[in-house]
Amino acid sequence: MSVFPSLTSSVPASAPTAPTQADLLDFVRRTAADAELIASLPLDPEGRTWVRLEGPGGSEAWLIGWPPGTGTGWHDHADSVGAFLTAAGELKENSLAARLPTDGWKTLELSEDVDRERRLPAGRGRSFGHHHVHEVLNESPDRHAISVHAYYPPLPQIRRYSRTGPILRLEQVECPEDWQ
């Protein structure tokens, strides 16, 4: 008989940890480096195409093809954190460097210093926190772009906005059944 208590009976099982923004960025980097996967995405000359991927730790992930001149429009990912990376071509991200109220508004006037722009050529990406408002664009006149995206928790909703100068308007709230 052992005089030492069993470690397995006295240490509680640890719950799986949620992926962090860094984990999601690492995932999109590794996935974008899979040339066979990137080449397998069917590309439409007129509309975005996408394939759902298995993300880390229960996250939601997507491989997205962007025809020339397409974009997402202004939107956020509600309570999810995320990351995305350009695997082919180049994307542009316009974002707001301001935390917006999450509920109870339809129209906001933005201050002059909130706009940010990032160019994301192949191999470049970024992570972002909760309620990150942005738009992603493929401004190329003749070349598709491909990107990998991951979100945790899986997207509970997407809020879509319109923007005219400094005025941002909430236009629509989409739920997962609207895009899956």
pLDDT 10s per residue in the chain (180 long)?
Answer: 444 344 444 445 555 689 999 999 999 999 999 999 999 999 999 999 999 999 999 999 999 999 999 999 999 998 999 999 999 999 999 999 988 877 788 999 999 999 999 999 999 999 999 889 999 999 999 999 999 999 999 998 999 999 999 999 999 999 988 866
DSSP state of 154: -
Q: What pTM, to 2 d.p., does this model score?
A: 0.87
Residue 85: strand pairing partners? 125, 148
∠ CA 156-99-76 to the nearest 5 degrees? 30
